[in-house]
Amino acid sequence: MLPYGRQSISEEDIEAVVKVLRGDWLTTGPVVDQFEQKISKISGNNFVVSTTSGTAALHTAYGALGIGPGDEVITTPMTFVATASCAAMHGAKIRFADVCPETGLIDPASVEALTNEQTKVIAAVDYAGQPADYPEMNRIARAVGAVTLADAAHSIGGFLNGHPVGDLADVTVYSFFPTKNLTTGEGGAVVAKDQKIIQRAREFHNIGLVRDADRFMMEDEGPWHQEVHEFGLNYRLTDIGCALGISQLQKLAAFKQQRAQIVARYNQAFFDLEGIATPVQVEESNPMWHLYTLRVLGGRRRTVFEKLRANGVGVQVNYLPVYWHPVFASMGYERGLCPNAEKYYSEEISLPLFADMSDSQVDFVIEQVFAAVS
């Protein structure tokens, strides 16, 4: 079965990892710093802390922002559950804004209607790789004293209005899971414009340990002294993963180009295919395409999905509206809350898209889509 996404690993990647394995540091050594610096460089030179996953990055980011009971986080239901669940785990109330029907991206008007004095974070998602409308998100957030968060698990390497992902929101979160645009095995990162947020994030991802003598609250016990002011977890990414990440970053531009070429071929093939809608690109955006999101019209999504799977095309659906998950449904979120997101979900299929896809694999998918739709 041709997967909907997969990693691209070269001999150089393997050598970079093996080199770390032969060295002194497996976990938090010099390579973590080097990787964080390189992530900073492609993210508008903002501050960075790496984490063990995108989910850990979200949990860390919300923790660093001090989100808790009484606070509200506005986000989209058209995302992986962690965008919302990691804020809920800190005790925040989640408000789901609807999406734009054509792109699946969070709709600024819907966000604005949900803001109030409790709004602490507006968490947008760069669905499929297209940056959300951050100029609008930032304007809406400023008006109520909230901050913006970009869940950029899909979009590292993309741009909006010439500005890179990582520099569009106050805080940005990446995932380096193998199906994403670059990988460290498991991994993620938090990026922020404000150094204080990253300092808090760094402590949160390291059990809350404070080692800076200037900030000690108790008497220094000796050279071994370190102390905890707030609870944290161990979300530290390893040198092993970061070596892979650095090697992968060198190929990010090539990955982007390969993904764009496949997207262009799909668009051309499906442009006037009846019963299908191809992805709509946002103006002013230069996306790192992570997903190719076909919409199957006329209530035929499941039939087409099953035919494709049966014929060796490993399609996926991204995503079940987050508040349909029983954990949110049991909190009182009802179906119908975000009609555009629910309609989008009911039509969506993600076709295979990854940097190493060969021309003949793309041809095969196109052929199978024509067969499944007809």
Ligand X SMILES: *Cc1c(COP(=O)(O)O)cnc(C)c1O
What residues make contact with ligand X under the rule CB under 6 A? 53-55, 79-80, 82-83, 125, 151, 153-154, 175, 177, 188
Cβ closest to ligand X, residue 67 vs residue 153: 153
Q: How far is the CB of 168 from ligand X (least distance, A)?
A: 15
Chain residue at closest Cβ approach to ligand X: 54
Cβ closest to ligand X, residue 119 vs residue 155: 155
Cβ closest to ligand X, residue 240 vs residue 373: 240
User: 164 pairs with which residues across the strands?
Assistant: 159
Q: How far is the CB of 212 from ligand X (least distance, A)?
A: 29
Integer distance in angstroms from the first to the last C-alpha of the chain?
21
Q: How far is the CB of 125 from ligand X (least distance, A)?
A: 5
The alpha carbon dihedral of 150, 155, 159, 163 has a sign of: positive
Cβ closest to ligand X, residue 56 vs residue 262: 56
Cβ closest to ligand X, residue 57 vs residue 146: 57
Q: How far is the CB of 66 from ligand X (least distance, A)?
A: 21
Q: How far is the CB of 189 from ligand X (least distance, A)?
A: 10
Spatial neighbors of 350 by CB under 8 A, at least 6 apart, are 4, 5, 291, 292, 293, 294, 315, 316, 317, 318
Q: What is the Cα–Cα distance from 178 to 313, expressed in whole angstroms? A: 19
The total of other beta-carbon atoms located within 10 Å of residue 314's CB is: 16
Q: In one letter, which amino acid is 336?
A: G
Cβ closest to ligand X, residue 55 vs residue 206: 55
Q: How far is the CB of 15 from ligand X (least distance, A)?
A: 24
- Contact by Cβ (8 Å): 130, 152: no
What does DSSP say about strands 276-277 and 209-210: parallel, antiparallel, or unpaired?
Answer: unpaired
Q: What is the Cα–Cα distance from 314 to 293, expressed in whole angstroms? A: 13
Name the token pair of 352.
Answer: 């295979």
Name the token pair of 327.
Answer: 């954990």
